[in-house]
Structure 1
Amino acid sequence: MAENKTRPTEVSVAEFLNDIPHPTRRADGLALDALFRKVTGYTPQMWGPTMVGYGSYDYVYETGHSGTSLATGFSPRKANLVLYILPGYARLGDMLTRLGKHKIGKSCLYINKLADVDMDVVAEIIRAGLDDLAARWSVKPS
């Protein structure tokens, strides 16, 4: 069975965030790091070259595929901020309505900049996503 491509690395989260060239994206990345730390209580770890993860979980699907993934986190991409809220957004409708300008994918929340959203609602979404994940899989702190 193939291994996951995205795995924890030893790269410093602080160095990664402070090296973001665009000042707004850098400030947003640092603000998200502080928020994720506060909400999760976890120390972040880099997953692959661009994902800042908080906690992890081991999974085994019905197909037999298994692996380890970050429990929650974000990536300050050039085009937008991507928040990884697993396993998805099934019960977050009210929060998403109150969030502000965003787009969603299967388990990703896309935000252009933090000024577009309500940070209190972002905190609610992080917590709800982590709680939902923990109801399905055992989440470990990072």
Structure 2
Amino acid sequence: MAKNKTTETENNVDDFISAFVEDETKRKDSYELIKIMQEVTGFEPKMWGPSIIGFGSYHYKYDSGHEGDAPLAAFSPRKAAISLYVYSPSDEKEEKEELLSKLGKHKASKGCLYVKKLADIDVEILKKMISLSIENTKKLYPSN
């Protein structure tokens, strides 16, 4: 079985932001997201892999037998956009769609939101989405 690439590391979050995030707005948004995610999750930021800032963790195991650990909430300040890792199961589709419609300027994929800058979105809606994401993840993987 392949080893997960994205695991918690001992790398320093501030060092990562200083070295990796060149855009001043994205750097400020990264620190604001750290505050937001700390507030919502109650966890300190940790580096996951080389470029993901995660908060808390859970253990997952798929029917295929693949298992591992992942952060409960996370983001990565990538060059093109900030990637927000927000899990949302399909049975919550209406609620997810309603929240996405209120979020503001973003792009979405199955488990990720992409925003250019925090000023483009409603931070209170983001907080609700993070909270629901954690709630749903804990229901799906209750051993945590």
* Shorter-chain TM-score above 0.5: yes
Runs of 4+ in 1 over 6 A off after TM superposition: none
Q: Unaligned 5+ residue runs, structure 1?
A: none
Shift of 1:88: 4.7
- Structure with the bigger RCO (C-alpha within 8 Å, sep 6+) is 1
Over 3 Å counting, the alpha-carbon distance change for 1:106 and 1:36 in structure 2 is same
CA distance in 2, matches of 1:65, 1:81: 28
State the shift of 1:64 in Å.
Answer: 1.1
1:34-79, Cα deviation, whole Å (9 max, x unpaired):
0000011111110011100011111111111111111211000010
TM-score w.r.t. length of structure 2? 0.91
Structure 2: tracts of 5 or more residues without a match = none
The structure where strand makes up a greater share of residues is: 1
Aligned length: 140
Choose which of 100, 107, 110 in structure 2 pairs with 1:106: 110
Shift of 1:15: 2.1
Percent identical residues:
39
CA RMSD of aligned residues (A): 1.5
CA distance in 1: counterparts of 2:143 and 2:115, whole angstroms: 25
CA distance in 2, matches of 1:138, 1:54: 17
| Secondary structure of the structure 2 residue equivalent to 1:52 | strand
Aligned-residue offset at 1:113: 0.8
Mark the CA change 1:88 to 1:13 in structure 2 (over 3 Å): closer, same or farther: farther
Q: Which has more helix, going by share of residues?
A: 2
Residue 65 (1) aligns with residue 66 (2): yes
Classify the secondary structure of the residue corresponding to 2:56. strand
**TM-score (norm: length of structure 1):** 0.92
CA distance change for structure 1 residues 9 and 55 in 2, over 3 Å: closer, same or farther?
same
Per-residue CA deviations over 1:98-134 (Å, capped at 9, x if unaligned) read 1001111110001111111011111111101111111
State the partner residue of 2:123.
119
